[in-house]
Amino acid sequence: MKPVRRLLWSIFVCLLATAAACVGQEPSSNWISQIDIPALLPFQVSFRFTNGGATSLDNIRGQAILSDQFGRMIEALPIDSFSVPPGGSKTVFAASRWGFQQTGVYLEEIALESDGGDLISNSLAFRILPVQLPLAPAAATFGEGLKTLYQQPVSWGLQRISAQDAWTITHGRRDIVIAVIDTGIDSSIPQLEASMWVNAGEVPGNRIDDDGNGYVDDIHGWDFRDGDNSSLYGSALHWHGTFVAGIIAAQPGEEPIVGVAPGSRIMDVRFLDSNNEFSSRDWNVFAEAIDYAVDNGADLINMSIFANGTPPAALQNAIARAIRSGVVIIGIAGNTNQGSVQYPGKYDDVYAVSATTEDDQLASFSARGPEVSFCAPGEGITSFLPGGQTATRSGTSFAAPHVTGTLALILSAFPSLSPIQAVDVLMGSLVDLGARGFDPSFGQGLIDAFKAVSD
């Protein structure tokens, strides 16, 4: 949170058998009371905020900080914006984006700021009652897997971009929407189902276009290949889109797969066919898919797609419309091992990503060229296949989602930034590889998620 003037006071916290806390004294101005833990799975905290002043407090926001027994931050639970009139009170909730917790977690602090610049900070040192849940293996230790709270191994790619360290700051926010224009996503996989975008303007299954966007019951997105509301129906799914979605935002669970930004949401925009292909007749449909993502609130678009030859103006115009709307598009360099980036990554308005290996070399298959913006892990990446099986694959298609996920983390860590501004933050946090500065193999450099969200 930005530096602001602090109002500090002491409060006495009482542990109750129901895992609740109460405040023993209240200051004369604004205060927090009735701190409670209504749920442990996922973890939630509620509290009562009272405005004891003579003026309304608007756009109050902040976070509830969880820490381990050593005071190391585990997670910052976001507190959505709220307002309280003078003399009024409001019950406020904050919740973890994860479905499980480990033992020995403390609610350390609740911190709030308002438009007036006041930061209301309560140092609580409040112990959440110990719980032992199935998805928190007792054998795991601090520093392994997802740090203290989320005890699960991650892929080498996430390790290389310092995603685990970034998660001590943010896992992504629900309101950050990433459109995956690809072969469709198997949203029935439990670790992906919870990460799917939900169109709040639609009533599921009533066969009515409730939000008037021209697409009936588009709850999680739209299948432009079959012209219906779900990739799970109609023509068979190619594995590619599900694999990409898992890299971006899979939540932790039974399979050892976690996305870069698992707290964010995925919009399923199916364009490619069952063979992971499209034809020259599909250019206008490709443009419609981009327009759909933009019109329905996507902040970022991941397009792990390449085209042979030069696309018609319809595609470039759709990309330009997306950029004018403030949406950032991440594309790929291609897998040709040539010195020329393929479209749509070749467009100036698309950030093309090349693929690296575990030893920070350009992958043997990766294309390169002056249009490459960034590089990211793309060789030997593990993710989901349709049906929930896991597999390991290589390609620039799987490097790009590391970048897209990192941008989602930046937007989550810095809520005031636009997607374009998030790219600027990313640019300032890259690890230089190859020749000093920009080079056609690695672009501006390798992404570092932790540096990006902590600068």
Tell whether 114 and 161 lie within a shared domain. no
Residues 114 and 175 in one domain: no
Residue ending a domain, choose from 127, 146, 167: 127
Q: What single DSSP character describes residue 254?
A: S
Confidence band (pLDDT; 50, 70, 90) for 40? low
Q: How far apart are CA 191 and CA 179, in angstroms?
A: 17
pLDDT given at position 372 = 98
Do both 168 and 288 map to the same domain?
Answer: yes
Cis peptide before 312 (omega within 30 of 0): no
In the block, which residue shows the tokens 């599921």? 204
Phi and psi (nearest 5°) for 51? -95, 100
Residue 394: what residue type? S
**CATH number of the domain encompassing residue 18:** 2.60.40.10
pLDDT higher than threshold 80 for residue 253: no
Give the residue-averaged pLDDT of 404-427: 97
Q: Are residues 86 and 226 in the same domain?
A: no
The answer to whether residue 182 is catalytic is: yes
Torsion over CA: 338, 344, 350, 355 (sign): negative
- The residues that bridge with 75 in the sheet, in sequence order, are 66
Q: Which of 240, 273, 373, 439 is catalytic?
A: 240
8-state DSSP, 379: S
Structure tokens at 169: 């700051």
At 97 the pLDDT is: 67
Cis, bond preceding 256 (omega within 30 deg of 0): no
Lowest mean pLDDT among 66-70, 120-124, 326-330: 120-124
Q: Are residues 282 and 419 in the same domain?
A: yes
Do residues 77 and 64 make contact, with C-beta atoms less than 8 angstroms apart?
Answer: yes
Same domain? For 183 and 112 the reply is no
Annotate 36-50 with DSSP letters as a single string: EEEEETTEEEEEEEE
In this structure, of 168-172, 187-191, 233-237, 385-389, the range with the lowest mean pLDDT score is 168-172
Gap between the Cα atoms of 20 and 40, Å rounded: 12
Residue 167 and residue 55 share a domain: no
| Residue whose token pair is 């109002």 | 7
402 is catalytic: no
Of 240, 260, 236, which Cα lies nearest the Cα of 180? 240
- Alpha helices (H) in 223-298, listed in sequence order: 240-249, 283-295
Residue 140: inside a domain, yes or no? Answer: no
Indicate the pTM of the whole model: 0.72
The answer on 163 and 107 residing in a single domain is no
Domain that holds residue 258: 156-454
Does residue 137 sit within a domain?
A: no
Q: Is the pLDDT of residue 303 over 80?
A: yes
User: Does residue 436 share a domain with residue 317?
Assistant: yes
Q: 10 an active-site residue?
A: no
pLDDT of 409 > 60? The answer is yes
Query: Are 171 and 29 found together in one domain?
Result: no
User: CATH number of the domain that 312 lies in?
Assistant: 3.40.50.200
The DSSP result for 279-297, as a single string, is: -GGGHHHHHHHHHHHHHTT
- Residue type (1 letter), 302: N
pLDDT: is 435 or 233 the higher one? 435
Burial of 231 (0-12, 13-18, 19+ CB in 10 A): buried
Angle at 402 between CA 133 and CA 321, to 5 degrees: 120
On whether both 192 and 100 belong to a single domain, the answer is: no
Q: pLDDT tens for residues 129-155?
A: 333 332 333 333 333 333 333 445 678
From residue 75, give the alpha-carbon distance in Å to each of 65, 67, 111: 6, 7, 13
Where among 89, 110, 127 does a domain terminate?
Answer: 127
Average pLDDT over residues 13-41: 49
State the pLDDT confidence band at 396, using cuts at 50, 70 and 90.
Answer: very high
**Burial letters for 139-167: b for 16+ Cβ neighbours within 10 Å, e otherwise?**
ebeeeebbbbbbbbebbebbebbbbbbbb
Q: Which two tokens stand for residue 144?
A: 């392994």
Tokens encoding 37:
């833990």
Helix (H) or strand (E) holding 317: helix 313-324
pLDDT band at 98 (very low <50, low <70, confident <90, very high): low
Chosen domain end from 127, 144, 178: 127
Write the pLDDT tens digit of every residue in 209-250: 999 999 999 999 999 999 999 998 889 999 999 999 999 999
Catalytic residue among 264, 373, 397, 412: 397
Count of the separate structural domains present in the chain = 2
pLDDT at residue 141, as a whole number: 34
Query: Contact, 219 vs 202, CB < 8 A?
Result: yes
Does the CA dihedral 112-114-119-122 come out positive or negative?
negative
DSSP for 45-99, written as a single string = EEEEEEE-SSS-EEEEEEEEEEE-TTS-EEEEEEEEEEEE-TT-EEEEEEE-SSS
Q: Which residue of the set 36, 68, 118, 182 is catalytic?
A: 182
> 219 and 160 in one domain?
yes
Cα 374 to Cα 401: distance, rounded to the nearest angstrom: 12
Q: Residue 298 corresponds to which tokens in the numbers above?
A: 């996507």
Amino acid, res. 192: L
